């Protein structure tokens, strides 16, 4: 249970950090919006991401794991589509947001 809460907090903080660092990425609102987006991102990563990784396993193998970046970007894009208060204006904003969220998730995964 604490691992799920840690993932939600980490995703929320990663989205906040991405808002600060990526000019074309915006989460309008306050803590409630970041927490909601972090919750949905954590749920997508727990439920949808494993299925996508299984289906796309040949691409992951061929690209030596780099295809997982596309899967991660797709998860963040789903959050953008799900909520009006999350706005990703350009592909580069999606890319850099994906890099920031992935880095934070890697750092928090190794601390638990």
In a domain, 112, yes or no: no
Give the chain's domain count. 1
Residue 8: predicted pLDDT: 94
Instruction: Report pLDDT for 50.
Output: 95
pLDDT greater at residue 109 or residue 75: 75
Which two structure tokens, joined as six digits, stand for 45? 């990563």
Domain limits for position 54: 2-107
Q: Does the residue 15 lie in any domain?
A: yes
Say how many C-beta atoms besides its own lie within 10 A of residue 41's C-beta. Answer: 27
Could you write out the DSSP letters of every residue in 41-92? HHHHHHHHHHHHHHHTHHHHHHTTTTHHHHHHHHHHHHHHHH-TTEEE-SHH
* Residue 26 lies inside a defined structural domain of this protein: yes
Query: In percent, how much of the chain has pLDDT > 70?
Result: 97
The C-alpha atoms of residue 11 and residue 65 are separated, in whole angstroms, by 22
Provide the token pair at 36: 């909601």
- 103 Cβ contact partners less than 8 Å away, ≥ 6 residues apart: 14
């Amino acid at each position: 249970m604490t691992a799920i809460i840690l993932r939600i907090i980490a995703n929320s903080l990663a989205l906040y950090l991405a808002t600060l660092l990526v000019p074309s990425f915006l989460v309008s609102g306050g803590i409630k919006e970041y927490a909601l987006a972090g919750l949905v991102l954590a749920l997508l990563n727990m439920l949808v991401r494993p299925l996508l990784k299984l289906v796309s396993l040949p691409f992951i193998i061929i690209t030596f794991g780099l295809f997982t970046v596309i899967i991660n970007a797709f998860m963040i894009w789903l959050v953008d589509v799900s909520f009006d208060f999350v706005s990703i204006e350009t592909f580069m904003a999606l890319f850099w947001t994906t890099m920031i969220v992935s880095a934070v998730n890697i750092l928090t995964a190794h601390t638990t």
